[in-house]
Structure 1
Amino acid sequence: MARFRLLPDEQLARSPLRELWREFARQHSAMAGLALFLLFVVLAVLSPLLAPHDPYLQNDALLLIAPSWSEAGLVQYPFGTDDLGRDLLSRMLIGARYSFGIALITVLGALLTGLVLGSLAGMSKGLKSSALNHVLDLALTIPSLLLAIIIVAILGPGLINTIWAIMLALLPQFVHSVRNAIAEQLNLDYVIAYRLDGASNWQVLTRVILPNIWERLTVTASMALSTAILDIAALGFLGLGAQAPTAEWGAIIADSLDLIYVAPVGVALPGLLIFTCVLSVNLVGDGLRNAMKKRRDN
């Protein structure tokens, strides 16, 4: 019996992931954001190997060295040194581990925890579901940074407490997103038909609902990641997050703020990195949103 071969476009249409990637790749801004995002991932993983100097080594003979493009700069220190003689380039590279790497960890932890709690809230009914929904609605009215500051004030300043604070601050929006997505899926015809076929709640959740809401979770995670980066930097700037001499971008800005007129690179460089990092995440998130919308329309 003869077999028919599908055309390349039809083969792509059979795979939702390939179709999503094709729509995503058509957006130049999204691809630029993805390249920057992957660059920050590489820096967060390989920064100890890429740093040319010890980021915490102080040198009294190299205080406030100008960047290498200045006449007073040195080639060995491309971005100069701070007021303690520490290499700024090395500190910026190591800072990617704290400002970006920790943000990834907190968002992943909040996503997994929110997936569990949101599934319980979405699949349950009655008083338990109503009470949990009201608590979530109340938590969502508080800005994440303010909620993180309150949690850090209770737990105490420090990098570990910052991770817990931001994870707890991001948790309500993940739970809310998962709960709403599950509630929408439960009213669809194919889910009702699967229930009538004798499927249990666990089978409905794992085999039908979760595979169909991962796109929404991905977009929610991308928005939460940019929030986490800003919150980590803000807590470090306020002295509630990473403590000296940790090379976290927000803490570096706070340490260099008094010398902004003498050595503006110490403030401008970490600020530019934070801006670029958040911009890359937002470009990827917008690209995913647009790609999913176009795929649904097709």
Structure 2
Amino acid sequence: MKKFRLYFEEQNRGPLTQLWQQFQRQHAAVFGLVMFAFFLLLTLFAPLITPHNPYVQNPDLLLLAPSWSDQGLVQYPFGTDDLGRDLMSRLMKGATYTFGIALVTVMGALLMGLALGAMAGMSKGVKSSIFNHVLDLALTIPSLLLAIIIVAVLGPGLWNTTWAIMLALLPQFVHGIRNAIQDTLKQDFVAAYRLDGASNWQVLRYAVLPNIWEHITVMATMALSTAILDIAALGFLGLGAQAPTSEWGVMIADALDLIYLAPWAIALPGILVFAAVLSVNLVGDGLRTAMKKRREN
């Protein structure tokens, strides 16, 4: 039964509600969000739900086929590797390294990029010009190549990989946030806020940042897919995580010699890398489309 109203009152939905309404109309984006939530939960709880120890070797079960094969065992759904380690447990644990570290690197690059981007966007004159030229120079180098250069200086390892990818993603965050801040500063409501006596910090906090958070969110989702690929690529090249760490790129590199004997050992981590990147790209593209439609409406 429709609720009785004595008088008409227009109800405007909040920006987040409008954004979600536009987002959920895109089936591919919702599917990507479900996949993203799955990888996030797997990253958080993988150490607690793995059926076997991912590092324990079993010489009696070397290169065991997946359970859907006639030679497989139901206790090992994805089979085992050449050392008898459970592939399902290693893949689940690998989400903590590949997907989890990618989240950490993006959050770190975002925080540093927000601070440096705010300084670059709010500054003027010679300081701003020098900062812009340095950023343009850094953006000409691909993030993976920049990460390889940094790892070559710091040395291989998972911890150094985290710092390398964080620093490699930093220029694009600084560049994007700086452009978003400068575009927002040209708006009339910022000029009106300055006329009321607001300082630069107040303008940044109350007028600029609330109006660019959507742009920052889209940048972070797109950078996350780059971070996942870079972590897996560095692990595959032997510059990132080192064996016996169950990082997906390392697992692919270790199973290259077994491509004819145990193709599932390469296919399964490769599929997970593809699915993780696909989920992030679907969510990022859905957010960008939803924000565009919300502004049009």
For normalisation by structure 2, the TM-score amounts to 0.97
Q: Look up the match of 2:236.
A: 237
Letter in 2 for 1:217: I
Q: Look up the match of 1:285.
A: 284
Supply the distance in 2 between the matched residues of 1:131 and 1:154 (Cα, whole angstroms): 25
Letter in 2 for 1:58: Q
Q: Look up the match of 1:55.
A: 54
Q: Look up the match of 1:114.
A: 113
Q: Look up the match of 1:221.
A: 220
1:123 Cα offset (Å): 0.4
Count of aligned positions: 293
Q: Look up the match of 2:80.
A: 81
Percent of pairs identical after alignment? 71
Q: Look up the match of 2:155.
A: 156
Letter in 1 for 2:272: L
Q: Look up the match of 1:142.
A: 141
Supply the distance in 2 between the matched residues of 1:286 and 1:105 (Cα, whole angstroms): 21
Alignment of 1:8-157 (within 5 A): 10-12=11-13, 15-157=14-156
1:48 Cα offset (Å): 1.0
Letter in 2 for 1:111: L
Deviations 1:202-229 (A, max 9, x none): 0000000000000100110011000000
The unaligned stretches of length 5 or more in structure 1 are none
Supply the distance in 1 between the matched residues of 2:6 and 2:143 (Cα, whole angstroms): 57
Supply the distance in 2 between the matched residues of 1:187 and 1:73 (Cα, whole angstroms): 64
Supply the distance in 1 between the matched residues of 2:252 and 2:45 (Cα, whole angstroms): 23
* Aligned residues: CA RMSD: 1.1
The unaligned stretches of length 5 or more in structure 2 are none
1:128 Cα offset (Å): 1.1
Letter in 1 for 2:47: P
1:287 and 1:61, CA in 2 relative to 1: closer, same or farther beyond 3 A? Answer: same
Q: The residue matched to 1:75 in structure 2 has which SS?
A: coil
Supply the distance in 2 between the matched residues of 1:96 and 1:24 (Cα, whole angstroms): 26
Letter in 2 for 1:270: P
1:11 Cα offset (Å): 3.8
Supply the distance in 2 between the matched residues of 1:61 and 1:113 (Cα, whole angstroms): 50
Supply the distance in 1 between the matched residues of 2:201 and 2:7 (Cα, whole angstroms): 38
Q: Look up the match of 2:259.
A: 260
Q: Look up the match of 2:173.
A: 174
Supply the distance in 2 between the matched residues of 1:178 and 1:4 (Cα, whole angstroms): 45
1:4 and 1:124, CA in 2 relative to 1: closer, same or farther beyond 3 A? Answer: farther
Deviations 1:147-168 (A, max 9, x none): 0000000000000000000000
1:196 Cα offset (Å): 1.3
Letter in 1 for 2:188: D
Q: The residue matched to 1:296 in structure 2 has which SS?
A: helix
1:4 Cα offset (Å): 4.4
1:32 Cα offset (Å): 0.2
Supply the distance in 2 between the matched residues of 1:3 and 1:231 (Cα, whole angstroms): 60
1:245 and 1:4, CA in 2 relative to 1: closer, same or farther beyond 3 A? Answer: farther
Letter in 1 for 2:83: L
